[in-house]
Structures are given as structure tokens and as C-alpha cells.
Amino acid sequence: MEAKIIWLFVFVALYWAYCIFWGIKGALSARTASDYFIAGRGISIWVFVLAATATSFSGWTFMGHPGLIYRDGLPYAYASFYAITIPFTGVMFLKRQWMIGKRFGFVTPGEMLSDYFRSDVIRILIVIVALVFSVPYLGVQLRASGFLFNVLTDGMFEVEWGMILLSAVVIIYVASGGLRAVAYVDTMQCILLAGGIIAIGIIALGYIGGMGNLVDGIAALTTIDEKLTPDGYSHYVAIPGVIQFVDAGAKAQGGAWTGIMVLTYMFALMGIQSAPAFTMWAFSNKSPKPFAPQQVWASSFGIGLILFTFTAIQGMGGHMLGADPKFSTAFPDKAPREIVEAVQAGLIKPTYYDALNELDEDQLGALVTEGLALYAANGAAPTFSDLADAGVEAAAAAVAASPDVADKPVVIDLMQSEGKGDMLVSQLINLMADAAPWLVGLLSVCALAAMQSTGAAYMSTAGGMLTRDLLKHYLMPSATHAQQKFAGRVGVVLIVGAALAVAWTSTDALVLLGGLAVAYGFQMWPSLIAICWWPWLTRAGVTLGLIAGLIGVTVTESIGQTWFGIEAWGRWPLTIHSAGWGILCNLGVAILVSFVTQNKADHDHKMTFHAFLREHAGLPESKRHLIPRAWALTLIWFLFAIGPGAVIGNWIFGSPNDASTWMFGIPSIWAWQILWWIIGVFMMWFLAYKMEMATVPAREVEALYEDVGDIQLAVDKP
């Protein structure tokens, strides 16, 4: 057994022991239902800061984000602004939700919104959103974890066995310890996630030979890029305009990442902290004190710094480290040969070995050799079909005819491998297999922790919503605390089982459903706007708006074409993400219906919430003159950082086609992103602290009761 695999097992065992420890500790301290579901409203400041950050930035940030930057270039790196837009949702809603939950004893968002709107329909819709978010989102994490196990153990564990192992550990600590266990495990996961991304970025930069070589490599990459924007720029260093009028994003010239696509894609990722799970995270705190430092410093500044530097280095640097055969062939002096061969050796196995698992090693080797011969003959990387058609005998003949083939590196593009973009980080980790096998084990655990961080939180909170909003509300109104905790644990097991079943049986369905998750979560915005800010949005408006939004997302995602046979348009028409189409339908219907369904009795009831918020969370008169400035700063940032105005970043600091004009020694688009990241951190500070949108209220919030369920139970008793 290789040293790296031994170290992997050692670190995984230590990490899982830590998880199970907190599961047991959480189970022992969970005496009541609110203890189990929302940690007794007692999560401390720094636990929340780290845990909420880990929950917001999952394994997709760790594994998928660099691979997409590799594929789509720096235009996709605009997605790194989710380090700001995700907590922007928190700035808008978390403090006010915490205050309402503390005041009225709500445990789930379904309880809060159904009480506010006096409607059970919205309670059911919220549970549906929570489940549709949690099951596919968790399924994606489980399958990615299994795939990572498979790659890093050189095929010792099949993907499905890796999924089962991770599922078992997650069930143990989440089901037993509830949200408290999740929070304490997430603190470690946050440290591992951030540290792992930094370490892998440093490894990549070290093998490239420093920042100067990286920039030279990017400049060289633009000269061989055949995928150009409408302005004739390489798609690696320029976004393809403000909008493109195509019926599907994939048909856009130069890539789908127009200014409008970036903006609406950020809408989707804002759905992470507007999803029902984060309402329960808000309820679980002792006070709003952790909100501002998490939103401004941990997320916007800390994660933002990591994404705009180390993740970008990983993604763009992959071209120089063997993932891109076209680059390695065109610029052999810019691609270290031994690193190219190491990365290629890792990439070829999932494509040829796993797909041809019935062949022995000699036959496999012959096919690989045939691939080299084909490459030597025509200079193009062979496809899997080329090799399969050539056959083993032809491969042997090719070896005899081409004795110099053995000196050529194996050539396959990262995006042709089984894991596609997700393989990039795995291969960067594997570069340390000989030099520091212990580091391979540690970084592998960092990746596993990142994948587990978000899934665990959504499992726990979805189990709570199933228990409180369905079982207790409809079937067992007199359920005791012990019965609620037991039901919550059963709910966790059912959710993990559903996620595992989808991930195991149908990867196609998993991809389709996974695309819906965050876009569905963003459709909670109008209901949160209603309870936190706008009392004139009515029950009918918000309910019908939410339904319209869910439909809008569904029909503009892949599932709309695959399952419902829609042919008029494809995924993301007009280069607008499904979250953008959904919110247009959602808010449009919510506002129009609310105008015609105003009801004085309902309005008076809602004003009990808003009068409380105005009394405790209203901005002091001395600061009200800052409101127009806050609006202006926010709108300008959304317009130029992640919206249509981002197209200016293509050229303002130098021509994308001429590296000698790059003002700061890096592509203009990268400099523009860093500039607006800095401005974005200031915006978040201004909103969270100066505008007091995430600070502790001046007046203490007096709880009318600790758990609304206890009050309802008392009312139900004869």
C-alpha cells in the first residue's frame, strides 16, 4: 500500500473520530426539541462564524470551482463574488429573523412564515423547498466524496463504497447530535476548507514556477484559444458581452458568462443563505453578535481573498501543469515535463481503465500506447472511440511502427477525463504523493470536510422541518420532546437515504436536480422580504409568487427540457440563469397579486411583527441620512462588479489580446475582479456595521416564550 494511502486513512480516521465525538456530545446535551433542532438558541460567536462560513462554501468551492475556472477562464472567476453575495443575503435577513425567532419562539421557518401569513400552504411549500434543496445538494456531495475516495486511493474504493462510508459517518453525528454537533464539526471543517484551498494554490504556483510564469502562461494560452468572444477576445480573459439573445446559454458565442449571466448566477448562489436551513441557523444563536463578523470578515474578506487568488491560480494554472494537452504541445517550455506526465498519468486512468475494466493491464497498456501512436501521427489527442476502434492488435502494430512513441507524454484533456473539472484538484493534490505523502492525506481530508460541511447542516435542518412542520403540526400535535428528537433523527436517515439512492442509481437525475437546488433556495427571497421589510406583500401574493418562481426555475433548467419536453428554449435562455427567470416570475406575481389582495385584518396581524422590528431594529434618526448612500453603493456594486457593467473589466486595465498592456501585470479582467472585491468588502462593512443591519440591537429582545411548540401544546391540552 502506498504511503499516501496510509496517510489518507490515518487522517480520515482522526477526522471521523472528531465528528463522532461531537455527535455523542451533542446527543447528551440535547434535552429538549429546541436543543436538538436549533442548539437551544445557544451557539457561541466564533462557533457560528466558522460554522456558517463552512456551510456557505461547500465541497463545490473546494473541488468544482477551480475546474470551472480551468474550463471557462477568468469570466467564470466572477463566480468568486459569491464570497460577498452569499453573506449579502445574511445581511438582509439573518438579524431580523433571529429577532423574530427569539421573540415568538419559532424553531423552523415554516412556523415563522405560516404564523406571519396565517397560512399552512406556505408551510408546506417551505418544506418542499427544503427537501428539494437538501436531497440533490447532499447527493452531489456524497457522489463527489465517493469519487474523490476512488481517485486518491488509486481505485481501491469504488465510488459507491466511498459514498456509503461518508453517509454512515454523517448520519451518526448529525442524527445523534443535531444542529449543535453540526456546528462544532463545521468549525473544524471551515479551517480545513480554507487551509486546503490555500495549500493547493501554493502547490500549484510552486510547480508553475511563480506568479510571473503563471501570467506568462495565461498570456500564451490566449494566443492559442479558438473560442473567442464577439469582440474577438479569448474566452479565458474576457466576458462575452452584456447579454446574448440565444435560446440557450450553451449557444452563446465565447461562452455563456455574459454580464447578465454572472448577475443572475450570483442570484442563485444567494439562495444558499435564503434557503430554509439558514433561518434555523439564525434561530440557533445566542444573539446577532456573530452575524457581522461572519458576513464581513470571515466570508467577504477571508473567503473572497482565497477565491480571487488561490482558487484562480489553481484553475488557470492547470493549463500549465498538464491538464491541457493543447497548451503542453504548443508551449513545452512553459509546461514542466515531469509535472505534465504526473498529471496525465492520473487523468488517463479514470478514462481508459474504468471504462474498460474488463481488460487486463497488458491490454490496457496496449490501448494507451495506441493512443500515443495516434497522437504522434496526427498531433491530436485520441478520443476513447479512436482507441476502442483501433483495438489491441492495432496498438501492438503501432508500437512496432513508432519506436519513439515511448518518449512522448500521455495526452488527454482534463475535460475528457471521467471526473472532468473535478479531477483538477485531485491531480494537484496527487502531485505531492512522492514528496510529502502525509500532505496528500491531509489535503484529501480537507476536501472531504468541505464536501461534508454544507450537506450536514441541510440534513439536520430538513429533518427538523419534517418533524415540526409536518409530523407535529398535522399528525402528532402532542408530541413530546423525546418523540420530536426521535422523529428528527429518523428524518435525517430518510433524507440521507434518499440522497444516496439518487446519487447511486442515477447520476443524470442527480445533475438535473442539483441544478435546481440553489435556484430554488433563492425563491425564498420575497417571503423573507415580506416578513423582514415589506408588510404590504400579502399571503396570496407571496404564496402564488413562490409557486411561479419554482416553475420559472424548473422550466429554464435542464430538467425542463429533459423531463417536460420543452423545445422552445434550452437551459438558461438569453444567457439568464434559471434563478433570474425564477425571481422575475416570483416577484412579478407576488407584487401584482399583493396589490389586489390587501386585507386589513391580515395587515394588522403582520404589523405586530413589523412594529416589533421597527422598535428594536430600526435605524437611529442620526443615521437615516445614510440610507440613500447605502442604496447607491449597493446598486453600483451589483451593476459593475457582477452585472452588465462588468464588461468594462475586459479592457480597462489593458487589452485582453496584448499582455504588454496589462497595467498591473495580470489580465485586466482579473484586476477588475480584485478591485471590486475590495469595494465589495467595504460595502458589506458599511451595511453590516454602519447601517446596523447585522449588529446587536440596542434594546434587548424579550422572549414571549422559548418554543412556540410548547405553547401550542399547552393550548391543545384539555
* Phi and psi, residue 101, nearest 5°: -65, -40
Does residue 456 lie within any of the structural domains?
A: yes
455 and 393 assigned to the same domain: no
> What is residue 508's predicted lDDT score, i.e. its pLDDT?
52
- Is residue 585 within 8 A of residue 549, CB to CB? The reply is yes
Average pLDDT, whole number, for the chain?
87
- Joined together, the cell numbers standing for residue 356 give 474498460
228-234, long-range: CB < 8 A, 24+ apart = 228/253, 228/254, 229/253, 229/254, 229/255, 230/254, 231/650, 232/657, 233/650, 233/656, 233/657, 234/73, 234/656, 234/657
**pLDDT value at residue 364:** 55
> Stretch 577-590: mean pLDDT, rounded?
97
Q: What number of CA atoms fall less than 13 Å from residue 181's CA on the CB side?
A: 33
Identify the pLDDT of residue 374. Answer: 56
The predicted pLDDT at position 607 comes to 96
* Same domain membership, residue 339 and residue 217: no
Residue 2 within any structural domain of the chain? no
Question: Cβ distance 537 to 213 under 8 Å?
Answer: no
* Range in 133-137, 342-346, 408-412 with the lowest mean pLDDT: 408-412
Residue type, 165: L
Per cent of the chain over pLDDT 70 is 88
| One domain, residues 426 and 439 | no
Domain end residue (candidates: 378, 406, 430) = 430
Q: Dihedral, CA atoms, 215, 219, 220, 224, nearest 10 degrees?
A: 140
Locate 128 and state its grid cell. 418542499
The tally of domains found in the chain comes to 2
Domain match, 252 and 363 both = no
- pTM over 0.85? The answer is yes
Start-end of H helices in 466-599: 481-505, 507-522, 525-532, 539-555, 558-564, 578-596
1 within some domain:
no
Half-sphere exposure of 392 (CA within 13 A, CB side): 9
- Domain residues for the domain of 15 are 7-323+434-716
pLDDT of residue 552: 96
Q: Is residue 598 part of a domain?
A: yes
The answer to the question of residue 645 being in a domain is yes
What would the pLDDT profile of 26-83 be if each residue is shown by its tens digit?
Answer: 999 998 999 999 998 999 999 999 999 999 987 789 988 999 999 999 999 999 999 9
Residue 714 has pLDDT above 50, yes or no: no
Residues 509 and 573 occupy one common structural domain: yes
438 and 418 within one domain: no
How does pLDDT run across 85-126, given as a tens digit for each residue?
Answer: 999 999 999 999 999 999 999 999 999 999 999 999 999 999
Which one is predicted more confidently, 343 or 508?
343
Question: Is pLDDT at 354 greater than 60 in this prediction?
Answer: no
- DSSP H or E stretch at residue 343: helix 337-348
Same domain, 443 and 576: yes
Cβ distance 323 to 207 under 8 Å? Answer: no
Q: pLDDT tier at 136 (50, 70, 90 boundaries)?
A: confident
CATH number at residue 485: 1.20.1730.10
Q: Which residue has the higher pLDDT, 274 or 340?
A: 274
Q: 337 with 306, same domain?
A: no
Task: Give me the pLDDT at residue 500, please.
Answer: 87
Contact of 527 with 110, CB cutoff 8 Å: no
Q: Say whether both 252 and 392 belong to one domain.
A: no
Asked if 423 and 443 sit in the same domain, the reply is no
Examine residue 140 and state whether it is found in any structural domain, yes or no. yes
Q: For residue 415, what pLDDT is reported?
A: 84
Q: Is residue 264 scored above 80 in pLDDT?
A: yes
In terms of domains, do 310 and 399 share one? Answer: no
pLDDT of residue 367: 58
pLDDT tens, residue by residue, 191-234: 999 999 999 999 999 999 999 999 999 999 999 999 999 999 99
pLDDT, position 373: 60
Q: Which residue among 366, 397, 430 closes a domain? A: 430
Tens digits of residue pLDDT in 642-682: 999 999 999 999 999 999 999 999 999 999 999 999 999 99
346 and 301, same structural domain? no
- Which of 369, 397, 430 is at the close of a domain? 430
Is 346 inside any structural domain? yes
